[in-house]
């Protein structure tokens, strides 16, 4: 792993191979090393850069709660610091949110995009989910009164584990606040504005970002194509690395900057 400092944050990253740049962005709770099957599958033909996003792996924490916009802007600053002005972005899950943000709002930096089991489309607000969220917020307000004294931090953590997701319970402080900002942002309105070529790769058995989300993205992103990975779940590039690498290489072969006149 290599390190540098970008915008005051210590950034850990992998940088292997040569050729047109491919930037890999991991999911929430992941790190650059979790993208190694893609690094190994692409580095013989491309310069592959995989980042430990701030707060993950060996990169330092953001100083305040970040949303998708802040993470995307940092990603842009980071690759520029590494000498990359434009490239193909490959994002898994949370990393897919950042790719959507960049492709929509910073199109000059995005040659092409690959979204793998990407997040960004919020699930419908069912009655059960609305009741659960309401109970969580009410109990948080009670805890914030300070009436429970030294028991408050313990009860707050129990509340997070009872009502929050596994990802929410696994983080604290600025990262927990960041996660709340990120998961509450629906990116559906950004999808139709993407002009870069887009490949969608989805595990057909993904239960975290279901393949229905992939079909919605395919419908909303002009010219995009969805490839389902049979038998794979949310980490389809780990479940079927050979197949996913082959699909990505085929897609990249048609979008190579160096092959254009």
Which pLDDT belongs to residue 122?
85
pLDDT tens digits, one per residue of 58-112: 999 999 999 999 999 999 999 999 999 999 999 999 999 999 999 999 999 999 9
In this prediction, residue 166 has a pLDDT band, given cuts at 50, 70 and 90, of low
Question: 48 near 41, Cβ under 8 Å?
Answer: no
Which pLDDT belongs to residue 184?
86
Mean pLDDT, rounded, for 206-219: 96
pLDDT tens digits, one per residue of 118-160: 999 987 655 565 555 555 566 556 556 665 555 555 555 555 5
CA distances 163 to 135, 137, 160, 229, 256, Å, are 9, 10, 5, 31, 46
In whole numbers, what is the pLDDT of the chain averaged over residues?
87
- Where along the chain do its domains lie? 2-122+186-259, 127-182
**182 phi, psi to nearest 5 deg:** -70, -50
Which pLDDT belongs to residue 259?
47
Which pLDDT belongs to residue 77?
98
Nearest by Cα to 159 from 182, 68, 174, 148: 148
The strand order across the sheet containing 198-203 reads 2-6, 9-16, 47-51, 21-25, 87-92, 110-116, 198-203, 225-229
Which of the 8 DSSP states describes residue 148?
A: T
Query: What is the widest separation between alpha-carbon atoms in the chain?
Result: 69
CATH number belonging to domain 2-122+186-259: 3.40.50.1820
Q: What stretch of H or E contains 51?
A: strand 47-51
Which pLDDT belongs to residue 123?
75
Could you tell me the pTM of the whole model? 0.83
């Amino acid at each position: 792993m290599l390190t540098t400092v970008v915008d005051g944050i210590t950034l850990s990253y992998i940088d292997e191979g040569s050729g047109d740049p491919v930037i890999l962005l991991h999911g929430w709770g992941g790190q650059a090393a979790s993208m190694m099957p893609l690094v190994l599958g692409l580095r013989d033909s491309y310069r592959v850069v995989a980042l430990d996003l701030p707060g993950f792996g060996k990169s330092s924490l953001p100083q305040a709660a970040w949303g998708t916009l802040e993470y995307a802007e940092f990603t842009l600053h980071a690759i520029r610091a590494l000498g990359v002005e434009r490239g193909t972005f490959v994002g898994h899950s949370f990393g897919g949110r950042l790719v959507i943000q960049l492709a929509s709002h910073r199109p000059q930096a995005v040659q092409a995009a690959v979204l793998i089991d990407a997040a960004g489309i919020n699930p419908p607000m069912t009655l059960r989910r609305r009741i659960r969220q309401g109970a969580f917020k009410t109990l948080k307000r009670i805890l914030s009164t300070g009436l429970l004294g030294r028991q408050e931090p313990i009860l707050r953590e129990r509340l997070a584990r009872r009502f929050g997701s596994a990802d929410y319970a696994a983080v604290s402080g600025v990262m927990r606040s960041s996660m709340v900002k990120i998961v509450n942002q629906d990116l559906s309105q950004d999808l139709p504005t993407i002009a870069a070529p887009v490949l969608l790769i989805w595990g057909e058995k993904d239960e975290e970002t279901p393949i229905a989300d992939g079909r919605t993205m395919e419908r909303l992103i002009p010219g995009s194509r969805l490839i389902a990975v049979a038998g794979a779940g949310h980490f389809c590039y780990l479940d079927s690395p050979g197949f996913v690498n082959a699909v990505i290489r085929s897609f990249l072969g048609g979008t190579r900057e160096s092959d254009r006149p």
